[in-house]
Structure 1
Amino acid sequence: MDALSLLIDQFRHMAWADALVLTTITGNPVAAADDCILARLRHLYAVQRIFLDVWLARPLDPRVADDLDLRALCAFARGVHQESMRFLEALTPAELERVVELPWSKTATAKLGFEVAAHTLAEALVQVPQHSAYHRGQVAARLRELGVDPPMTDFIAWVWRHKPEPAWPGDDRE
């Protein structure tokens, strides 16, 4: 499997896992009303969108998801995933090597106390699913605190299921 195919699979898995978590949350009134979960989800999907905006050279809005309720956030996340897939599927392997500058790199340099290294599009593409998995883990921990059994969202579980497409909240399929 080549790098681009693996990255596409990472994003396909991320969409599936995000949809599964959102379906679990929307199906539980306690989880759906939890401000901590909503704040994590807003951050997670805003970051996904911001990276996409960087890759597409669009203006950034760090508050893009701040005012979205859960229903609007589900639609927002779905749209970001669909647009991300269109972006990925249009890439060529050679484009993965181009250097991508993140607008917040200077802030990161100041905060971390060292000059951040340049990175490629491929490396930035790896960051998004990893960042999302981190925050899905936080959401899963919060679900457990609320007495809700979080879904299994591991990459290998997605592979075991034959790499299904995401079933977003409100979809008719299971």
Structure 2
Amino acid sequence: MKKHFRDLFQHNAWANQRILITLEKSEVKNDKILLLFSHLLSAQIIWLNRIKDIPTSPFPLWEQYKLRELRSMTEESSVNWLSYLDGHKFDTFEEMIFYKNTSGRKFENTIREVISQVLSHSSYHRGQIAMLLRDEGIEPPVTDYIAYARQK
């Protein structure tokens, strides 16, 4: 399971990097695009902080960041998730975590469920970003897993 999740997070890092490069090269100014990418990255950081049981407050879920901040967040999130997976002491991720959502409601989920949420949430928003890029006349990068797997 660890190897599988590591591969999926490497794809996630690759896909986020491709989005970031497209935003930087095209000098995108569309606030919706920047807000969605900011949200995607904030969520990745927040979920890892929840797993580690550390404060999530420094990363508002719907804050819009500048491109240089998004670059830093992209790198930080990728490095931290991969480091977490590498250091996880079990091959399964069935341990339960207890956390509060951004509204303060208490929940519990397995780490496996959280990882699945992070990855599907990121893919979902990259798809939205791709549509908005097309609306701006910008060809979005291919971020599909199979494209990543073919170039490994």
TM-score, normalized by length of structure 1? 0.79
Alignment counterpart, residue 46 of structure 2, candidates 47, 50, 59: 50
The change in CA–CA distance for 1:135 and 1:67 in structure 2 (over 3 A counts) is: closer
Unaligned runs of 5+ in 1: 110-115, 163-174
Alignment of 1:18-167 (within 5 A): 18-29=16-27, 32-61=28-57, 62-63=59-60, 66=63, 68-93=65-90, 96-104=93-101, 118-162=108-152
CA distance in 2 between partners of 1:102 and 1:47 (Å): 14
How far apart are residue 96 of structure 1 and its match? 0.9
CA distance in 2, matches of 1:35, 1:63: 16
How many Å apart are 1:132 and its aligned residue? Answer: 0.3
Deviation at residue 136 of structure 1 after TM alignment? 0.4
Q: Using a 3 Å threshold, how does the CA distance of structure 1 residues 63 and 159 change in structure 2: closer, same or farther? A: same
Asked if 2 retains the 8 angstrom alpha-carbon contact of 1:20 and 1:151, the reply is: yes
- Identify, as 1 or 2, the structure richer in strand: 2
**How much does 1:95 deviate?**
5.5
Percent identity for Structure 1 against Structure 2: 28
Gaps in structure 2 of 5+ consecutive residues = none
Partners of 2:61 and 2:37 in 1: CA distance: 12
CA RMSD of aligned residues (A): 2.2
Residue of structure 2 equivalent to 1:166? none
**Following superposition, which runs of at least 4 residues in structure 1 exceed 4 angstroms of deviation?**
105-109
* 71 and 106 in structure 1: CA distance in 2 versus 1, 3 angstrom threshold: closer
Greater Rg over alpha carbons, structure: 1
Report the count of equivalent residues. Answer: 151
- Which one-letter code corresponds to 2:84 in the other structure? F
Partner Cα separation in structure 2 for residue 40 and residue 106 of structure 1: 19
In the TM superposition, what is the alpha-carbon distance from 1:106 to its structure 2 partner? 7.9
TM-score, normalised to structure 2, is: 0.90
1:102 alignment partner, SS class: strand
Deviations 1:82-118 (A, max 9, x none): 1111101111335611112231298679xxxxxx7x5
> Matched residues in 1 for 2:102 and 2:30: separation?
32
After superposition, what is the alpha-carbon deviation per residue over 1:30-60, rounded to whole angstroms, capped at 9, x for unaligned? xx21111111011111100000101111111
Q: Which has the higher contact order (CA 8 A, sep 6+)?
A: 1
